[in-house]
């Protein structure tokens, strides 16, 4: 099975700061990766799919990229509503398996 | 707009079963697979399985194949997941999420299941 190693597991940052989160895939996933945001009330929203395509309505300060087996989510300038948990999700194994990264908790410094 | 409506909470006794619902609206229910995902308190997300509402074909994570059973009711555009022989390990929030082009796009609000006597 494909494993997704997400880092860091937690991150403390300030408003306006630029941050990056990374997921490393244990096998080739060919860009079949999305990024999810989970708010404290449990609401889950997809931000990015196909590694770098922004979902409709998602602010442009969010971006996704790939370098080899490393996939990154970057927030260019943190706003208050961005403090949440973030998960990557690989779907290269569709329809037999989906795998989530372990999550990153983004907190206000 | 796409909506996936889930009840907020269920309290169930150890050893019992529970059937969770996910009512879809705003799109053609039978055109998109539906997933179920588990999140234990303070933990990450785990994929349980998925179902094609058009013909009820299913795919399960092997870890959940003896725990979860996925079904649909096309007449009410509702997906269901039955969890059996519940233990404290099954206390979690369970989400449904639609599949579009192999990726999950829209998510329900989740149902919190508490297993307690």
Q: What is the mean pLDDT of residues B86-93?
A: 98
Q: What is the mean pLDDT of residues A13-24?
A: 97
Chain A with chain B: Cβ pairs closer than 8 A: 54
| Cα B15 to chain centroid, rounded | 19
Q: Is pLDDT at A64 greater than 90 in this prediction?
A: yes
Say what the pLDDT of residue A94 is. 83
Q: Is A56 on the interface with B (CB under 8 A)?
A: no
The whole-chain average pLDDT of chain B stands at: 97
Q: How far is CA A56 from CA A31, A59, A77, in A?
A: 19, 9, 19
Using a 10 angstrom Cβ sphere, with 0-12 exposed, 13-18 middle and 19 or more buried, the burial of residue B62 is exposed
Q: What is the mean pLDDT of residues A67-77?
A: 97
Q: What is the DSSP letter of B15?
A: T
Q: What is the mean pLDDT of residues B8-18?
A: 97
Say what the pLDDT of residue A95 is. 84
Cross-chain residue pair B107–A45, CB shorter than 8 Å: yes
Q: Is the peptide bond before A19 cis (omega within 30 degrees of 0)?
A: no
Q: What is the mean pLDDT of residues A51-68?
A: 97
Mutate which of B32, B104, B111, B112 to disrupt the A interface (most A C-beta within 10 Å)? B104
- Alpha carbon of A25: minimum distance to chain B alpha carbons (Å): 16
Cross-chain residue pair A50–B44, CB shorter than 8 Å: no
Confidence class for position B49, pLDDT limits 50, 70, 90: very high
Please write the tens of the pLDDT for every residue from A73-108. 999 999 999 999 999 999 998 888 899 999 999 998
Our CA angle for A91, B71, B113, nearest 5°, is: 80
Q: What is the mean pLDDT of residues A8-36?
A: 97
Cβ-Cβ contacts under 8 Å for A63 (sequence gap 6 or more): A48, A52, A54, A73, A74, A76
Inter-residue contact A2 to A32 (CB < 8 Å): no
Please write the tens of the pLDDT for every residue from B57-80. 999 999 999 999 999 999 999 999
Q: Is A30 on the interface with B (CB under 8 A)?
A: no
Say what the pLDDT of residue A73 is. 98
Say what the pLDDT of residue A93 is. 87
């Amino acid at each position: 099975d494909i494993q997704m190693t997400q880092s860091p597991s937690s991150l403390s940052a300030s408003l306006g700061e630029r941050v990056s989160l990374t997921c490393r895939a244990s096998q080739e996933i060919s860009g079949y990766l999305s990024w999810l945001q989970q708010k404290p009330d449990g609401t889950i929203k997809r931000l990015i799919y196909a590694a770098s395509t922004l979902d409709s309505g998602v602010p442009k300060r969010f971006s996704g990229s790939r370098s080899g087996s490393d996939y990154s989510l970057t927030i260019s300038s943190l706003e208050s509503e961005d403090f949440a948990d973030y998960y990557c999700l690989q779907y290269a194994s569709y329809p037999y398996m989906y795998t989530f990264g372990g999550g990153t908790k983004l907190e206000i410094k | 707009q796409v909506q996936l409506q889930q009840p907020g909470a269920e309290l169930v006794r150890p050893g019992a079963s529970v059937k969770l619902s996910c009512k879809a609206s705003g799109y053609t229910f039978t055109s998109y697979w539906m997933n179920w995902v588990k999140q234990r308190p303070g933990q990450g997300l785990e994929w349980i399985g998925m179902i094609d509402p058009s013909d009820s074909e299913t795919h399960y994570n092997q870890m959940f194949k003896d725990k979860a059973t996925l079904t649909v009711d096309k007449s009410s555009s509702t997906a269901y997941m039955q969890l059996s022989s519940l233990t404290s390990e099954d206390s979690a929030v369970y989400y449904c999420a639609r599949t579009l082009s192999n990726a999950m796009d829209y998510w329900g609000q989740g149902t919190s299941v508490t297993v307690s006597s």
